[in-house]
């Protein structure tokens, strides 16, 4: 079972959030685009509450996945660290 995480003040009480999205920064070999896209999909699924969106929501869902993947790739590419890369 996943631990409960509190919402920010004024947003709600408690929710359960599984940590199925793995860290992608500072890996050897580096994270592949497919891993970035899988993490983006998991994030959008969690936020939207949809495993598969309806036809009416498919375009918005797909745009969100693409935007999150792009932001994730940009973040991974721009982060710096003195730590050695983590082995997979």
3 state SS for 68-85: HHHHHHHHHHHCCCCCCC
Chain position carrying tokens 């999150």: 68
From CA 67, how far away is CA 12, in angstroms rounded? 26
d(CA 35, CA 41): 10
Q: Which two tokens stand for residue 77?
A: 């590419």
Q: How much is the pTM?
A: 0.77
**Average pLDDT, 10 consecutive residues per value, the chain (88 residues):** 49 51 94 96 96 97 98 98 95
Query: Which residues does 43 contact at the CB level (< 8 Å), separation at least 6?
Result: 21, 68
């Amino acid at each position: 079972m996943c631990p409960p995480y509190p919402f920010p003040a004024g947003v709600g009480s408690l929710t359960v959030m599984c940590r199925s999205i793995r860290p992608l920064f500072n890996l050897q070999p580096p994270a592949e685009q497919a891993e970035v896209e899988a993490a983006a999909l998991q994030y959008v699924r969690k936020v939207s509450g949809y495993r598969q969106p309806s036809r009416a929501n498919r375009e918005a869902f797909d745009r969100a996945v693409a935007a999150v993947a792009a932001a994730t790739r940009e973040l991974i590419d721009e982060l710096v660290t003195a730590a050695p890369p983590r082995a997979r």
